[in-house]
Amino acid sequence: MGQSLTQPPAHSLASVTLTGDLARPVRLTVPDLLAWPQHRTRVSFECATSGVQHHRFEGPLLHDVLYDAGPGFDPVRRKDRLRFLIAVTGADGHHALLTWAEIDPDFAHAPVLLAVGIDDTPLDRAGPQLVLPQDRCGARHISGINAIRVDGRYPSWT
């Protein structure tokens, strides 16, 4: 759905690169992310620097976007996906780490968004935001996402 990693990002739009254990690594812009079904949510979270924040976000589910990139787990072995981690990095250096189980419909099914809009303002130039509506603290809210890495190199113990 997006650009291959060998193409430069479109114009001056911000982009996020999906890498790691994926069959189809890709670079995506906010307009690319509009191709997925859009979800809307109101979020209130505590910010350490500016107190309680209230916002409306819209965007695709992180699960849908990453699943489309072809994560390298065995789809027949449901538990195989439990060893996958998702590292999200923002342009400002902030990081967050999630597990695949948090976003997978067969497990926690958290409605984690790659927000393409905040309070009816598009994020085309700023880049998508990681939104975890279930988090009371805003520490895992990442603005201006520029990289998401999916890593499944954690072998199962036998």
**DSSP category for residue 137:** B
Three-class secondary structure of residue 48 per DSSP:
coil
pLDDT value of residue 49: 84
Q: What is the pLDDT of residues 111-136, one digit of tens each?
A: 999 999 999 999 999 999 999 999 98
pLDDT band with cut points at 50, 70 and 90 for residue 9:
very low
pLDDT band with cut points at 50, 70 and 90 for residue 158:
low
pLDDT band with cut points at 50, 70 and 90 for residue 156:
low
Which tokens sit at 31?
């307009």
Q: Name every residue whose Cβ is closer than 8 Å to that of residue 106 and which is 6 or more positions away in sequence.
A: 78
pLDDT band with cut points at 50, 70 and 90 for residue 10:
very low
Instruction: Determine contact, residues 129/135, Cβ cutoff 8 Å.
Output: no
Q: Please give the model's pTM, rounded to 2 decimal places.
A: 0.88
**DSSP category for residue 22:** B
pLDDT band with cut points at 50, 70 and 90 for residue 7:
very low
Phi first, then psi: what are they for 133, rounded to 5°? -55, -25
Residue with tokens 């500016």: 50
β-pairing, 39-47 vs 129-131, is: unpaired
